[in-house]
Structure 1
């Protein structure tokens, strides 16, 4: 819901930094993998209870996630780069809730399982929509220039990052926050299915 507004603010500085990195020989795939590495390290820190330290790496990983696209735009976009980016994103999104479960399984396990189930459903609705949109030649740049179609919804990348920040700031509230966010993820996926039925049940030209 907030991604399109956020892109207008962050794209200009990201594009400038991305162009500078590209001029120094950095590749988009390299930035993607660095971002994933920092995100997974953040998850490890969460597992041992160092949530404030994890927050720093978590935010750095998301900056890298924005920079990889900027580097690609300054050099050359590839289908594999887009594929690698989304695969790393999904691994990161699953690793953070898992880390909170490991940190306190007795308190967080059920809520964490619910949250990950909602991520699974929401991610499937997102990727399935992207496949059919590509098939029909439907395009959008509302969430920025991407390698695949990004359908909007109640919860997008910006909201998820804010949610993860809240988890790191208030780890004792993980279960409560996970139940709320998971429910909103289910709502997002359901609304996307309804939209897909409206868009994709019409005859193709």
Structure 2
């Protein structure tokens, strides 16, 4: 929901950074891999109870997630780059809740499991819609120039990042955040299914 607004705010800065990185010979896929490493490090820090370190690493990881696409637009996008970006994004989204579950299994395991289920189903609905959109030759620039069809929704990258930040700032409330965001994510899934039924049914 907030991704469009967020992109308009941060894209000029990302583009300036991306220009410097591209000029230095840094490739988009390398930035994507770096984002995953930082995201997994964030999850590990959270698992050990280092929530402030986890927060810093999450923000660094998501900076990489913005920069890889900006660099790709300069150097030339590839299908593998788009594929890699989405797969490693989902790895990041699963790793952070897992970190909280490991940090305090008694308090967080069930809520974290519910959130991961919601992420799993939502990810399937997103990717399946993209496949059908390609089959029907649909195009969308609602979230900028992407390698695959992006359907918008209530729970997008910006909202997920905001929730992860809140979890790091208030780890004792992880379960509340997890259940609430699971509901929002499932609403996004249902709305996408309804959209698919209207367009592909």
Please state how far the C-alpha of 1:31 moved relative to its aligned partner. 0.4
Please state how far the C-alpha of 1:143 moved relative to its aligned partner. 1.1
Report the TM-score, using the length of structure 1 for normalisation: 0.96
Match of 1:110 in 2: 110
Answer yes or no: is 1:194 the counterpart of 2:194. Answer: yes
Residues 152-202 of structure 1: per-residue CA shift (max 9 Å, x gap): 01110100000000000000000111011001111110010001100112x
Match of 1:153 in 2: 153
User: 7-16 or 154-163: which moved more?
Assistant: 7-16
Residues 90-105 of structure 1 correspond to what in structure 2 (within 5 A)?
Answer: 90-105=90-105
Residues 54-109 of structure 1: per-residue CA shift (max 9 Å, x gap): 10110010000000000100101000000000010000000000000000001101
Match of 2:49 in 1: 49
Which contiguous aligned blocks of 4+ residues in structure 1 show a shift greater than 6 angstroms? none
Where do 5+ consecutive residues of structure 1 fail to align?
Answer: none
Q: Distance in 1 between matches of 2:134 and 2:59?
A: 31
Match of 2:144 in 1: 144
Answer yes or no: is 1:127 the counterpart of 2:135. Answer: no
Report the TM-score, using the length of structure 2 for normalisation: 0.98
Match of 2:39 in 1: 39
RMSD: 0.7
Where do 5+ consecutive residues of structure 2 fail to align?
Answer: none
Match of 1:11 in 2: 11
Q: Distance in 1 between matches of 2:12 and 2:139?
A: 22
